[in-house]
Structure 1
Amino acid sequence: MEEPKTSVKLKKALQDDQRQQLIPGLPDEIAMECLVRVPYQFHSNMKSVCHTWQRLISHPSFYQQRLQSGTAEHLVCLVQPLPPRNHSTTSTTTDDDDDDDPLISSSSNNKILKNEDKQEEQEHIHSPPQYALSTYNATHNIWQRTRPPEGSRIPMFCQCLALPSSGKLLLLGGWDPITLEPVPHVYILDLIETTGAACKWRRGASMSVPRSFFACGVVGPSTVCVAGGHDSQKNALRSAEVYDVETDQWEMLPDMIEERDECQGLSWEGDSKFWVVSGYGTESQGQFRSDVEFYDRHTGCWSKIDGVWPFSTTSPRVVTTTVCVSRDKYQWSWFLGGEQQSQQQQSREVVKVSDNIRLEIVSSIPLPNCITGTTPCVTALDYVGQEGGNHRLFVMSGGGGRGSSTLACGECEGEGAFLSDGYSNNGTIKWRHIHTPVGFSGFPYSASSLVI
């Protein structure tokens, strides 16, 4: 029987490293079966055990082995505002970078935020808003927060984008929280290949154009496309560019056919197209277009499809998500609450993109009853490398009040977070409520997911 390619890569990596057994007294094959089953939250500690473990757990093939063995974990990454300094958090969380972070509590000691004197509280009230990267581990039901790069602030409304094949997370563009001007910044968090014990941030090459409220998507293993948004004068943009994460270089693409501010980017694993949904022009601010454009990297051209987005006063940002149904069929769904959900009946429309590619648009999927806002944040948790509808959906909305009677736990602040949990007999999605600690209840401005 032929060994899996991933196993061969791991063996070669270990043979190149002249060391003793992975776990003394155990064959390496059995030791590997043990190590791939250790939850991801402990991997940074495992890297501190010895150089061999550090090199092993920093190798991409180690995470491919976790995927093949069924021990990989699903992470949802969210850009959220930090809670007020006078909030205490007493929930099950951990922090990748610093156990003494006063905004985060740990299940081991249930740290409580110390009382601040009045002067410090006043200073915080008048300071610029601060944002952080939150992570929800859907496999082990754990909330975490990762600090931004030292001396940096995570931009407001930045785009959070995951590269599943390499375990990297990107934060792109957005507003400077002090000047409220669009920025070209790129921050990269590598969740796999690290040189130290913990995951660290690094700055990537800046975008050619400072932009905010733009479309972005992953097209290929390490390639990111961005398009549209607006500049510092609030002018809608047609410009587009592509970023190679491995070479850390940006390249301009042909301009889109239309200006598109507040547009949404969509892409699918294994497809060469980058989709830009709706948006509006400079002279028609707030009136969202019904069409979409897609850029085909093979032809180097933009194409437009009319009549796809039906809501002229609602942005498609954060309320849309995509899944890969099969090799030739992709699905795009949107999630709207309030009056828009009641007015729009669920429907399915198939758009023929090419001779062998079909895009199925599933509109107005019902949300949990307690979500009353019109634009919750949604992302899909795909099972990487698998087909046949193997995915779950994560939906979260901010606002509301604590202890809402409609929530299962009765303790969360805001309208809550939910995971899809199969389908009911009538074909509608069943939602499972996720307990959300107070410190993680802020509305997520961007979300992405990956498997580790």
Structure 2
Amino acid sequence: MGKAEKKQQQQEVQNLIPGLPDEIAMECLIRVPYKFHNDLKSVCQRWLNLISSHSFYRERIRSGKAEHLVCQVQPLPLSPPNPKDSSSATTHLVSDSAAKITSTKKDQQQDDDDHELHQQRQEVHRTPLQYGLTIFNASNGTWERIRPHVGRIPMFCQCVAVPASRKLLLIGGWDPITLEPVPDVYVLDMVNNSSRWRRAKPMSVARSFFACAVVGALTVCVAGGHDGQKNALKSAEVYDVEADEWRMLPEMDEERDECQGVCLEGDRFFVVSGYGTESQGRFKPDAECYDPTTGSWSKFDHVWPFPSLSPRGSTATITSNRLQQHQWLWFLGKEQQQNGEVVEGKIVSSIVPLPKSVTEGSSSPCVSVTTLHNSQQQQKVFVMTGNGGRGCSSSSALSSFICNECEGEGAFIMERDMSNGNIKWDHVHLPVGFSGFPCSASFLLI
């Protein structure tokens, strides 16, 4: 073999794909769906290094090949026993004792079966509700669930996506057994190890129902919520994702439980509404804003006009360069839609009417929203509701939302044309086992 041939073979071995220039090989690899990336890493060291790098995912985004992942903390399905199939029900839930019934009398057999079924249903109600992380791939319409390896996911924890590091954080919430607030933090690296959670440094204060938002590139701010005695909190702190360190911030002026966290202008952290310990359920109309430049809080009035409604979950932040304003979208029920638009400084709050199939059964449905896409031409938001169900309406006006193969009708993608304000709703297929209403949701582009 000549020197030229040996040199060519060595070059091909070093290439990402033998026989192809690296530029062409990269174009091939960035098109591989995200769910196969762990398999690609096992091919060779060069592929492992490439697909573990953030530059690879930046190239996927630049080329338009990145996938839109909606990450939701959902209750795991826990089905009650089926009286028509007691053996399968008991295997799934608690025990197989129903198979051990020995009575030969038909009436006694039925009585024993009924008693067994009653005991199993009681056992289901006594079982602590368990949560899992659901990933909805909005690019290809698939659903999957990631179960934690570090214990139970806390109830009502905040699911926070950090786009710059492509990590998911689960913060705070309730212990599912004691129902006490926890300071726990779990991290899932979606690039380097998307199947293993790690326990991160906990918050300084155990809290639940608090405001939370990614501020800047790699920090997360939290504020308010309540402690183990259900006292509303004024405290706030900030988490450095890369350093795995928490730092206390100055306290807010007021206690704020069940508040909403919003980041505007890149690094300003807004804590919207909430209520105090002595005014539970009466939501404040104002917000407090933390400015990291000055290290202090300031108050904004007339931000939330609904004193009996929490802003948590039903709102989405949209940054817009139009007139240097920032849009905050509210997905609310029929009773609130008449309020229209609220303008406070650079913040424009717009109410987006929900589909009729959502509001028909409830004037104030439970809604969880996640921003998918935002540009000068179009906005996309994933919306999941808590009162959808197959066959909830037979109206011909709603026929476009009905899916005969779907577990429920409670998931949609809203598209808004920014040139004319027109809104289009697309129904999202919701498979069996994924219809539980999410307590928190966030979004990653991978």
- For the residues of structure 2 that align with 1:273 and 1:247, how far apart are their CA atoms? 21
- For the residues of structure 2 that align with 1:257 and 1:178, how far apart are their CA atoms? 33
After TM superposition, list the pairs within 5 Å mapping 1:70-149 onto structure 2: 70-85=64-79, 116=92, 119=95, 123-149=123-149
Query: In the alignment, which residue of structure 2 is the partner of 1:4?
Result: none
- For the residues of structure 2 that align with 1:61 and 1:87, how far apart are their CA atoms? 50
Select which of 363, 380, 385 maps to 2:371.
Answer: 380
- For the residues of structure 1 that align with 2:377 and 2:291, how far apart are their CA atoms? 25
After TM superposition, list the pairs within 5 Å mapping 1:51-450 onto structure 2: 51-85=45-79, 116=92, 119=95, 123-150=123-150, 152-194=151-193, 198-268=194-264, 271-326=266-321, 328-341=324-337, 344-349=338-343, 351-352=344-345, 358-362=346-350, 364-372=351-359, 373=362, 374=364, 375-382=366-373, 387-388=375-376, 390-405=378-393, 406=398, 407-423=401-417, 427-450=421-444
Contact 1:323 1:382 (8 Å CA) reproduced? no
Q: Which amino acid aligns with 1:359?
A: I
**How much has 1:191 moved relative to structure 2?**
0.5
**How much has 1:87 moved relative to structure 2?**
9.6
Instruction: From the superposition, tell whether residues 390 and 427 of structure 1 become closer, same or farther in structure 2 (CA, over 3 Å).
Output: closer
Contact 1:261 1:280 (8 Å CA) reproduced? yes
Instruction: From the superposition, tell whether residues 147 and 291 of structure 1 become closer, same or farther in structure 2 (CA, over 3 Å).
Output: same
| Counterpart secondary structure, 1:365 | strand
Contact 2:378 2:418 (8 Å CA) reproduced? no
Instruction: From the superposition, tell whether residues 61 and 426 of structure 1 become closer, same or farther in structure 2 (CA, over 3 Å).
Output: closer
1:77-115 Cα deviation digits (max 9, x unpaired): 111101125699xxxxxxxxxxxxxxxxxxxxxxx9996
Instruction: From the superposition, tell whether residues 315 and 87 of structure 1 become closer, same or farther in structure 2 (CA, over 3 Å).
Output: farther
Q: Which amino acid aligns with 1:361?
A: S
1:360-411 Cα deviation digits (max 9, x unpaired): 221x21011111342311111135xxx4254311111123433334432134
**How much has 1:284 moved relative to structure 2?**
0.2
1:34-56 Cα deviation digits (max 9, x unpaired): 00011111111111222221111
| Counterpart secondary structure, 1:309 | coil
1:264-283 Cα deviation digits (max 9, x unpaired): 00114x61100111000000
**How much has 1:423 moved relative to structure 2?**
4.2
| Counterpart secondary structure, 1:226 | strand
- For the residues of structure 1 that align with 2:81 and 2:145, how far apart are their CA atoms? 15
| Counterpart secondary structure, 2:402 | coil
Contact 1:217 1:226 (8 Å CA) reproduced? yes
1:133-165 Cα deviation digits (max 9, x unpaired): 101111111111111124x10000001111111
Q: Which amino acid aligns with 1:380?
A: T
- For the residues of structure 1 that align with 2:299 and 2:71, how far apart are their CA atoms? 31
Name whichever structure is richer in helix by fraction.
Answer: 2
For structure 1, the 5+ residue unaligned runs are 1-17, 89-111, 353-357
TM superposition score normalised by structure 1 = 0.82
| Counterpart secondary structure, 1:148 | coil
**How much has 1:118 moved relative to structure 2?**
6.0
Q: Which amino acid aligns with 2:444?
A: L
Which one is further off, 31-40 or 329-338?
329-338
**How much has 1:325 moved relative to structure 2?**
1.1
| Counterpart secondary structure, 1:56 | helix
RMSD across aligned positions (CA)? 2.4
Q: Which amino acid aligns with 2:314?
A: V
Instruction: From the superposition, tell whether residues 271 and 25 of structure 1 become closer, same or farther in structure 2 (CA, over 3 Å).
Output: same
Contact 2:211 2:225 (8 Å CA) reproduced? yes
Q: Which amino acid aligns with 2:421?
A: G
Contact 1:398 1:414 (8 Å CA) reproduced? no
Query: In the alignment, which residue of structure 2 is the partner of 1:101?
Result: none
Query: In the alignment, which residue of structure 2 is the partner of 1:30?
Result: 24
**How much has 1:419 moved relative to structure 2?**
0.4
Q: Which amino acid aligns with 1:381?
A: L
| Counterpart secondary structure, 2:356 | coil
Q: Which amino acid aligns with 1:134?
A: T
Contact 2:220 2:241 (8 Å CA) reproduced? yes
